[in-house]
Structure 1
Amino acid sequence: MIAFDRPGFGHSERPRDRLWTAQAQAAFIQQALMQLDVTRPVVVGHSWGTLVALGLATGLPADVRGLVLISGYYYPSARMDVALATPAALPLLGDALRYTVSPLTGRVMLRRSVEAMFAPAPMPDRFFDVVPREMLLRPVQIRAAAEDAAFMIPSAAHFCAHYATLEMPVSIFAGEGDKIVAPEAQSVRLHRDLPHSDLTVMPGAGHMVHYVVADEITNAIDRMSADPDTKHLESRMSVDGVPLTIAD
C-alpha cells in the first residue's frame, strides 16, 4: 500500500503556485505514481480524498483498477461549513487568521469536532496520541482545509457529470449516522448512478466509518487487487494493482 498525504496535510506542503482543486491534486498524485512506476492501482479515498480518487478515475480511467470510496461528498449541495471555513483561504485576511485566531479557536473546538466525525460511534481514546493536535492546527493545514472547503462544491459539480462513464468496480462505504455528509444524499445516490458499484451503509457508525468496517474495506481492496483469473490472493512484489490511499 502507498499512502499519500494530500498537499498541506500530514507532513506534506502546499505550495502557492497553483489552485489545489481536486483535479490538480489528482494530477499531482498521478505524477507521483508515474515516478514510482505504479500501474493500475486500486484507489482508496476518504472524505475529501474521494474527490481526488474520482479525479484519478475520471482523468485516466484505464489506469485505475478499482475505487473504494469512504464517507465521500459526490454531489453539490448548500453547506454552512463551507461558508464558515472559506475566509481562512483568502489572501491576506486568511494569512492573518491562520497565524492568530484560527489556531486558538481550533484548539478549543478540536475535540468536539473530532467527536462529531466519529459519532454516533465513540472517538478512540488514543486518537490524539496518534494524530497530534499540533499537526492538525498548523497554519499550512488550516489553509489547506479552508481551500479544500472552497473547492469542494465546484469539484463535486464537475465530477458528477462523469460518473456514468466510470466502468471500473467501485465499493462505496458510509456510516448511517454520518453528521458531516448525508449518506442518503451522497453515497446512496452515487450507488444508484454507478452500475458497477456496491454499497455498505453501516448502522451505528459516522463519518469515520473505516474504523468500524476496516475488515470489509480490506476485503473490497483485496477483491479488486486480485488477478481475476485466480481464485485466491498470492504474495506479490509487483506494484501492479497496489492499493493507493488518499488521506487528509
Structure 2
Amino acid sequence: MSTIETVLLIVVAALVLLIIGNVAFQLIAERKNPPIGVFIECDGVRLHYIERGDATAPCVVLFHGNGTMIQDLILSGLVDRLAYHYRVVCFDRPGFGYSRRPRTRIWTATTQAALFAKALDQLGVRNPVVLGHSWGTLVAIALALRSDCVVSGLVLASGYYFPTFRMDFWLMSSPAVPLVGDLMRYTISPIVSWAIMPKLIRTLFAPRAVPPEFNDEFPISLSLRPKQLRAAAEESAFLIPVVAQLHLQYPCIRCPVRIVHGKDDRLIEADQSRRLHEALPRSLIDLVEDAGHMVTYVDTAGIADAVAVLALAAPTSPELGREA
C-alpha cells in the first residue's frame, strides 16, 4: 500500500469514527434532555411547543433566537412571569429543540411565519401579542405582516433589522452548504462549536456575567447536534438576505410595536433598534443600560410590562381584530 493510500485510509477511518461519535452524541443528548412540551403536526412539520397560563386569557406567543430553543425563554423568567396573567405559547422554531425542519423548504422568516400562522390557528390562538428575541424578531415581524393572522402588538428584543456588512454571519453559515456542510456537521462542526461555545455565551451575555441558571440548566448538548447546527447555519446565511427583503415592508406594520435592546450588545449593535424605531411611527423604544444581547435576562420585568400594555389594547374577539 502506497503512502497516499495509507493517508487516505486513515482520513476515511477518522471521518467514519467522527460520524459514529456524533450520531451517538446526538442520541445521548436527546436521552438526557427529552422534550419538555407537546407536539403539533402542521403543514407537514412536527412542531414542539409549550403552553402555560390561563387558556382563556389573552395570548402571548414567544419566538426564540438563532441557536437556542424554548429553554432559553424559560430560563430568562419570561415564560413564568407572563403566564401569571396570559396564555403563553412558546415554540421551538423549525430545526431547533425538537421541532423538525424539512429540507424541502427554504426556512426564511416569511416561510416560518406562514407555518406559525397555521399552527396558531390550529391552537385557537387569536389576536396574540408576539414577542421575538434576536432572529425571532424577524419571524414576529413577518407574522405581523400577514393578512391571515391578526397580531395585536409586537415586542422585539435584540433584533437585526437592516442589512449591513457582517462577515461573522457568513463565516457561521458554512455547515449549511449542501454536501460539504453535511460532512462538516457530522464530523468537525460539533467539536469546533463545543470549543467556541463558552466564549460565544460570554459574548451574548456581556457586559453581565452568564446567569448561573443558564450555565446549570440550558441544554447546550442539544444545540450541538448536527441537525440543530444546520438550522443555526442556515439562519446565519439567511439573515442579511431576509432583512434586505423585510425592511422594505416595515411601513406596512399596523400594530403597535415595543422595541427593546441592550445598549452594550456585542453581537447586534443597538443602532439597529434605533433605526427601526425611526421607521415605525407607532413604536416605542427602550435601550437598556448595562445589558447585552440577552436583554431578556436583564430586563425581564420591563419586557413583561411592554407585553401587558399591548395586551390591554388587544381586541377581545377575532372580528374586532380583523376590523382593526
Instruction: Provide TM-score, normalisation by structure 1.
Output: 0.89
Distance 2:255 2:239 in 1: 24
Give the alignment of 1:37-186 within 5 angstroms.
37-60=124-147, 63-184=150-271, 186=272
SS of the residue 2:172 aligns to: helix
1:126 partner SS: helix
**What's the CA shift for 1:128?**
3.2
For structure 1, which segment, 92-101 or 80-89, has the greater mean C-alpha deviation from structure 2 after superposition?
80-89
CA drift at 1:227: 4.7
Gaps of 5+ in 1: 230-235, 241-248
Instruction: Please give the alpha-carbon distance, in whole angstroms, between the structure 1 residues aligned to 2:238 and 2:148.
Output: 22
How much has 1:62 moved relative to structure 2?
Answer: 6.5
Of 60-69 and 114-123, more deviation after overlay is shown by 60-69
- For residue 17 of structure 1, give the secondary structure of its aligned residue in structure 2: coil
Tell me the distance in 1 between the aligned counterparts of 2:168 and 2:305: 33
1:53-87 deviations in whole A, cap 9, x for unaligned? Answer: 01101123860100000000100111112221121
Amino acid at match of 1:201: L
Q: Is the 8 A contact 2:152 2:314 kept in 1?
A: no
Report the counterpart of residue 215 of structure 1 in structure 2: 301
Distance in 2 (CA, whole Å) between partners of 1:52 and 1:13 is 16
- 1:5-32, Cα deviation, whole Å (9 max, x unpaired): 1111112121111111111011111110
User: What SS does the corresponding residue of 1:16 show, helix, strand or coil?
Assistant: coil
**For 1:218, what is the secondary structure of its paired residue?**
helix
Q: Which runs of 4+ in 1 moved over 4 A?
A: none
Q: Secondary structure at the match of 1:3?
A: strand
| Residues 127-184 of structure 1: CA deviation (Å, up to 9, x unaligned) | 1332122111011110000000111111111111111121211000000010111111
Q: Distance in 1 between matches of 2:127 and 2:314?
A: 14
User: How many angstroms apart in 1 are the aligned matches of 2:180 and 2:270?
Assistant: 34
Query: How far off its partner does 1:126 sit?
Result: 2.7
Does the aligned pair in 2 maintain the 1:116–1:179 contact within 8 Å?
yes
Residue identity in the other structure for 2:101: R
User: Could you give the per-residue CA deviations for residues 178-218 of structure 1, whole angstroms, max 9, x where no partner exists?
Assistant: 0111111x100100110110001111100000111101110
Q: Which residues of structure 2 form unaligned runs of 5+?
A: 1-87, 320-324
| 2:127–2:314 CA contact under 8 A, matched in 1 | no
- The yes-or-no answer on 1:193 pairing with 2:307 is no
For 2:314 and 2:176, locate their aligned partners in 1 and report how far apart those are by CA, in whole Å: 45
Compared with structure 1, are the counterparts of its residues 74 and 167 closer, same or farther at alpha carbon in structure 2 (3 Å cutoff)? same
Cα distance in 2 for partners of 1:47, 1:168 equals 19
Q: Answer whether contact 1:176 1:203 (CA < 8 A) is retained.
A: yes
Quote the Cα distance in structure 2 between the aligned partners of 1:61 and 1:128: 40
Q: Which has the larger radius of gyration?
A: 2
Equivalent-residue separation in structure 2 for 1:38 and 1:60 (angstroms) = 15
Counterpart AA for 1:146 = A
CA distance in 2, matches of 1:62, 1:165: 14
Partners of 1:69 and 1:151 lie apart in 2 by 19
Distance 1:161 1:206 in 2: 27
Counterparts of 2:198 and 2:299, CA distance in 1? 23
What TM-score do you get using the length of structure 2 for normalisation? 0.69
Q: For the structure 1 residues 228 and 84, does the alpha-carbon distance in structure 2 shift closer, same or farther, using more than 3 Å as the test?
A: closer
Residue of structure 1 in register with 2:102 after alignment: 15
Residue identity in the other structure for 2:288: M
- Cα distance in 1, alignment partners of residues 219 and 207 from structure 2: 22
RMSD value, Cα: 2.0
Q: Identity over the aligned pairs, expressed in percent? A: 46
